[in-house]
Chains A and B, each alone.
Chain A
Amino acid sequence: MTEVTVATKIGSEELKRIDAIVRRRGLLNRSDLVREAIRLYLSLTSLETEARLRMLRLINESAGVSGKTAGQLVEEARREEDA
Chain B
Amino acid sequence: MVKLFKAESGSDRAIRLVSLIDKKSSWYGISSRWSLLEVARALRKDGKTKEIVELDLRELRSHQIAFVSVSDKIISEAEKIIGATDLYAADAVHISTYRSLARRSHLEGFLCEDVHYNRFKEEVPVRAITDLEFLRDVG
Instruction: State whether B47 touches A64 (Cβ < 8 A).
Output: yes
In the complex, how many angstroms separate the beta carbon of B5 from the nearest chain A beta carbon?
Answer: 4
Decide if A53 touches B19 in the complex (CB within 8 Å).
yes
- Given A63-B49, A66-B46, verify A77-B41 contact (CB < 8 Å): yes
Quick check: B42 and A53 within 8 Å, CB to CB? no
Q: With the chains together, A66 CA to B38 CA distance in Å?
A: 16
Binding site secondary structure of chain A: helix
Interface size on A, residues (CB 8 A): 28
Chain B nearest CB: distance from A62 CB in Å?
A: 10
B12-52 contact mask (Cβ, 8 Å, vs A): 1 or 0: 00011011001100000000000000100111011111001
Q: A: which residues have CB within 8 A of B? A: 48-50, 52-54, 56-61, 63-66, 68-71, 73-74, 76-79, 81-82
Enumerate 17 A-B pairs (CB-CB under 8 Å) in ascending A order.
Answer: A53-B15, A56-B55, A56-B59, A57-B6, A60-B52, A61-B7, A68-B45, A69-B6, A70-B2, A70-B3, A70-B6, A70-B42, A73-B45, A73-B46, A77-B41, A79-B88, A82-B88
